[in-house]
Each structure stands twice: as C-alpha cells, then as structure tokens.
Structure 1
Amino acid sequence: MRLKKLMVSVLTCAVLFTATGCNAITIDGEDNSGTVSEGSGAIGFSVSTLNNPFFVSLSDGAKETAAEEDADLIVVDAGDDAAKQTSDIEDLISRNVSVLIVNPVDSDAVGPVVKDALSKGIKVISVDRVVNGAEVDCQIASDNVEGAKMATEYLKELIGEGAKAAEIQGVPGASATIDRGDGFHLVADQDFDVVASQSANFNRAEGMNVMENILQSDGEIKGVFAHNDEMALGAVEAIAASGKDIKVVGFDATDDAVAAVKAGKMAATVAQKPELMGETAVLTALKMISGESVEKSIPVEVELIK
C-alpha cells in the first residue's frame, strides 16, 4: 500500500513538472521568479523608420545579434508616423513581448503607450532617442548634444567667427532634433550669425528643398549644420547646383556621407554607431529577460569624421 502511494506521489510530481515546463518554481522557500520573464520571451523593436540608412543599420545590428543569440525579435517600422508607432507598440503589447525596444518618432507622442507597456510588466529600452512622460528601464543613445557641439566647433574653424550659418533641423519633437539643436546653438549663438533654422524631417529630398529656400533668402551663407547626413547630402546637392562654396557638416556618418567627406563634398560628419546600438539593445533585452540588472543609461561614443 505504501509503495502504491509512493508511485502515485511520484507520478503526480512528474505531471506537475511537465505542466509547468520552464516556469520558475520555489524550492525550500527560495524564490526564483526573478530569473524568468513573465512575457512570451520575445523582444519587440519599434523603429522610427526604415527609410533612412541610419535606422536600417540600427535595425540590422539588432537583427544580426538576435540571430546569433537565437532570440525571438519582432521588428516593426513606424514609417516616421507617430500614430502608427503607437498602434505598432499596442500590437506588440498584445503579443505579450517581454521587452520593448523603442526608437521614437516623437519623444512626447510615444510616452503614453510606453507607459502602458510598463504598467503591464514589459521592460522598455529606448534607443537613440528618449521617451518623454514615461520612465524607461534603460536608455541607449549617443551624446547628441556633445556631437553637435563638436561638429559646430569644427564648422567655426572652417568659416570663422561671425560668419553666416544655417541649421537644417530634424523631425520636430524628436529628442535627437532637440539635443542636436541644443549642441549647435551652444556654439552658434555666440560665434555665428544664424540666418535660418528650418526642419527637413531627417529627409534628403526635403533637405535639398530647404537648402534651396535658404539660398534664395540669403546667398551669403558660409556654413550649414544639418541634424543628420540625409539632410546634409540634400543640402550638398542644392549647394552644388548654386555653384557656391558652402561648408556642410552632418551627423550619423552614413556610408554616403563618409564618401562625400572623402570626396570633399561635405566638410565633416559625426559618427555614431547604429549597429552597435542595435546590438547593445538586444543584448541588454536578453539580460533583462534572464533577470540580470542593467545600467539605467548606456552611452555610445561619437567621433568627428573629417
């Protein structure tokens, strides 16, 4: 009889173990739940746009690392549309991702849905741009203020103090736009005559159009700082058509921009490391899923390419 009861007990334990699978269990009062994600184990990545080489590199870095680590990564493209990004993130929440990586279109607009994700126990990592209105678990970004300041100081070396300069801004509301603008104005407001500051939404074609408009309003401009390389390259096209000698500095060090610097068409660009940011984001997400603690802010260095 005792043997029969023992067999029943063993079989019951075996069934319970099979049913719980990989879920944490408590042994001798030891709580192991901190090492297992409550979500699906998947990582969701909402990227602002894949119509920009910088963010393609960011996404590629994340995808390559996920493949190497055999991680489940879901990448969604917001297409530079803040409303679509909100909808995309709501979908990732419904899919029960364990970690959300977000590269905001608009730092303010994404706040409420990120806050919703956090309230459901999803860990959140912001990449390249900050999230306003919600306290994310980790922020991975370049020092945009310092990078823009560095670029503007180099522009000053080229065109001199008191020269007329223009600023081509990124997407309004994006933290990169705000930070790079701040870095530019730390130098420019003291050392340049800033005759124009206009948005071209981080887009090359818009950058060309904005530069054409700036040239029509003031043909004495000597230097331009663009918040990213796509807009800088658009400005270079407009300047080439005008036949003027205007120094252009960009930001991101995309392949096209680095080639333009080498060819003497652009004066310089600030090198970020988007692939490394994507890699770091996925590795950090995996640490979170396994219950490891991570730094609240992980900076990625920048350098001037000239």
Structure 2
Amino acid sequence: MKKTLLTLLALTLIMSIGFSFTLGLSVSTLNNPFFVALKDGAVEKAEELNIDLIVADARDNPAKQLNDIEDMIQRKVDLIIINPTDSDAIASSVEEANDANIPVITVDRGSNGGKVLLHIASDNIAGGAMAAEFIAEKLNQKGKVIELVGIPGTSAARDRGAGFDQGISKYKDIKVVARQTANFNRAEGLVVMENLLQSNPDVNAVFAQNDEMALGAIEALKSAGKLKNVVVVGFDAVPDAVKSVQNKEMAATIAQQPEKMGGLAVTKAVEYLNTMTVYFPVDLKLVK
C-alpha cells in the first residue's frame, strides 16, 4: 500500500512539473457541436498542462484526415490523438504513426487496424440499447420505427446501431420499417426523413444515431405535420438537442461528455509520455 502511494505521489509530481510535449489532435469534423466540444475539452486541458496541441479538422473527409496525420508525423509530434472519420480508412494512418514510433490514442471512434495505446469512448452499445428501451416504453411496446444511421465504417455508428437493434428486437410488436444512412449530418437527416415519410407515413418513432440527424428528422416531421405523433430520440446531448427536448420536440437524447473525453485524452497522453505507462484507477470496495 505504501509503495503504491509513493508511486502515485511520484506520478503527481511528474505531472505537475511537466515536460514540453507537442500533441496532434485530428478531429473528424468541427461542423458538429459534439466534436467542437471534444476539441474544446482537449484544448482546455492542454493549456492547463502547458502542452502544445496541434488541431486539424478533417471535415468528414477520410483523405484529408490521412493528409493531416501525415503532416503531424512529419512534424514529429510526440503523440497523436485521433477522432476518426472512418474506422477502416484510419487504420493506415495509425500504422504509419506506429512505424514512426509515435503513440496513438483514439477518441469516440476506434480504429480497425494498427496499434492504439488506448481508446477513450462512451459505451455506444449501451447507449443504443438505452434508446431502444425508451422508445419501447413510449410506444407501449408496439409500433413502427425508423432508424437513421451514421457514417458507415465508424465504430460509433456500428456500436450504436448494434445496441439499438439488439434492444428493440426484444419487442415482437415493434418493427423497424427502415434503416437509412444520413451520415451524422443534419441536412441529410432532413432529406432522408422526408423521403422515408413518403413510404412510411404511419411511423411512430425515430432513432437517430446522433443529434444532428435527429434534429434534421424533426424538421421533416414538422413540415409534414407529424411531429406530435412521432417519438424522436437522438444521441450526444448537444446544446441544440437539449433545447429541443426542453421544447418538447425531441423526446430524448443519450448524453455523452465530449469535453471530458477530449480532456481525458490529453491527460492520458501526457501521463504516458512522462511515465511510459497509463494509470487507470479501479474503484475500491469496503467489505464489512
């Protein structure tokens, strides 16, 4: 116990003294308030720890993200934090960083290849299941549901969809009548929902894998005069979505903490660069 305490005190001292590091942060898009919050959390923590942070906006373009990360590698940053646009496409960038001996941390979305030091994310499967349970309760376990899917290839879309599909499949009288991609985008969510309403005018609920698509769907439902009869659930709890819930338009949104995720990524990056280890405390339990 004494040895563990001394180790933790030493780690705290190292963190407080700090060394001069440069980190790269590649964000999938800054056209989405969730990822803006993630970036802001990282920037705030970097300033607190006196760390240089290079931020690049991939603009939802996998090719641009690859170029951004190549630039960070050329600049010989000490560690790269990546929020992938595409979990498959990003693998080559992770491998390139591996070859350059630059550690990689992924945030919110994972990589389907390469060696990652650690992955920081919410439990998207559990979040999807939570949305399913809420919708089932609101529909009294009977009705028709549309699912708006995020960017194909991202771990967030895959996991949120898996959690929702597993959860909703428990209810034999609830049918998912359509699943269509709207790429985590509000404008696409609006257009896709307008089209789906043509073939599914009697839909009872919508699960959107992020709030931007949910907000787009709400606009489509408003225009069709159907919003009062449709339960809409989003994911992320961005400010516009929280306001929509308060205004009784969106029924619910699954809350994440993007600022905390961004800050934690920077904290763990600095911890690793200082100590070559990553410390995650496990809650203690009093037995009596």
* TM-score, scaled relative to structure 1: 0.82
Whether 1:277 and 2:257 are equivalent positions in the alignment is no
CA distance in 2, matches of 1:281, 1:110: 18
Residue from 272, 275, 294 that aligns with 2:278: 294
Whether 1:187 and 2:171 are equivalent positions in the alignment is no
Q: Secondary structure at the match of 2:177?
A: strand
Q: RMSD of aligned C-alpha atoms?
A: 1.8
Task: Tell me if structure 2 keeps the 8 A contact 1:204–1:232.
Answer: yes
Instruction: Report the AA paired with residue 161 of structure 2.
Output: G
Instruction: Report the AA paired with residue 184 of structure 2.
Output: F
What is the aligned-residue identity percentage? 52
CA distance in 2, matches of 1:205, 1:116: 34
Q: Which has the larger radius of gyration?
A: 1
Query: Aligned residue for 1:149?
Result: 129
Instruction: Report the AA paired with residue 122 of structure 2.
Output: S
Query: Aligned residue for 1:248?
Result: 232
Larger displacement relative to structure 2 (165-174 or 288-297): 288-297
Instruction: Report the AA paired with residue 191 of structure 2.
Output: N
Q: Deviations over 1:153-202 (max 9, x none)?
A: 00110013231000000011111000000011002233221111001111
Q: Secondary structure at the match of 2:47?
A: helix
Whether 1:199 and 2:169 are equivalent positions in the alignment is no
Residue from 42, 46, 68 that aligns with 2:48: 68
Residue from 74, 77, 83 that aligns with 1:103: 83
Whether 1:135 and 2:119 are equivalent positions in the alignment is no
Gaps of 5+ in 2: 1-13, 15-19, 283-288
Instruction: Report the AA paired with residue 44 of structure 1.
Output: G
1:266, CA displacement in angstroms?
0.5
Task: Tell me if structure 2 keeps the 8 A contact 1:140–1:297.
Answer: no
1:292, CA displacement in angstroms?
4.2
CA distance in 2, matches of 1:230, 1:173: 18
**Alpha carbons of 1:167 and 1:295: their partners in 2 closer, same or farther (altered >3 Å)?**
farther
CA distance in 1, matches of 2:195, 2:60: 24
* TM-score, scaled relative to structure 2: 0.87
Query: Aligned residue for 2:220?
Result: 238
1:118, CA displacement in angstroms?
1.3
Residue from 193, 197, 208 that aligns with 2:190: 208
Task: Tell me if structure 2 keeps the 8 A contact 1:138–1:296.
Answer: no
